[in-house]
Structure 1
Amino acid sequence: MANKKFVTFFFFLVLLIVPFVFIATAAPGRIRGMEVYCRSRCRGRCAKAGFQDRCLKYCGICCRQCKCVPSGTFGNKHQCPCYRDKLSSKGKPKCP
């Protein structure tokens, strides 16, 4: 009888732990994938910017939040409405 209780307890314990293991191992890949995507898209977007470090910083922030970056080095913001509509605290466009 005690052996059956132990097996049942162990079975439920495994059912509780296994999903967390899959979540913990799957999430970093998606995060790294988004970082690689944002880095490459923002490099292209900021290629002709006068202040590249600032452009890359804000483009990266906008990309992570919006999950998209408009094509080209300027304009085309209609391709990513979230990117287009982000404003700074001063009411100016936040995303380059």
Structure 2
Amino acid sequence: MASITRNTFALALLCFLLIHQLEIYGMVEAEQIDCQKKCEYRCSKSWKQKMCLRACNTCCQRCNCVPDGPTASRDACSCYAKMTTHGGRLKCP
């Protein structure tokens, strides 16, 4: 009986570790953030707000991440920081 309990515990621990690793590599979908609010704040100081909001919302939906604040570094979200336009320019504000 003790070996069954030990095996069950070991299996549960391995499942937890697997799920954790999949989350790290983005293979398990995380909780969706409120892109509208995050992007409104991100673009609040932009001189082209409509364009900024459109690009930010696209990036947010694809990456599920937006850097905090209007002047925060893009590097806070690696996917957001790496996304480019067809012309090779950075897409996300």
What TM-score, normalized by structure 2, do the two folds share? 0.63
| Counterpart among 61, 71, 80 of residue 68 in structure 2 | 71
Give the Cα separation in 1 of the matches to 2:78 and 2:84.
12
* Structure 2 match to 1:4: none
List, as ranges, runs of 4+ consecutive aligned residues in structure 1 with deviation greater than 6 Å. Answer: none
- DSSP-derived class of the 1:90 partner: coil
| Counterpart among 50, 58, 64 of residue 61 in structure 1 | 58
Structure 2, unaligned runs of 5 or more: 1-30
Calculate the aligned-residue CA RMSD, in Å: 1.5
- DSSP-derived class of the 1:44 partner: helix
Tell me how far 1:75 sits from its aligned partner: 3.8
- DSSP-derived class of the 2:58 partner: helix
What TM-score, normalized by structure 1, do the two folds share? 0.61
Percent identity of equivalent pairs? 37
Give the Cα separation in 2 of the matches to 1:70 and 1:93.
14
Query: Which of the two has greater helix per residue?
Result: 1
The C-alpha deviation readout for 1:55-80, integer Å capped at 9, x for no partner, is: 00000000000000001112411110
Structure 1, unaligned runs of 5 or more: 1-32
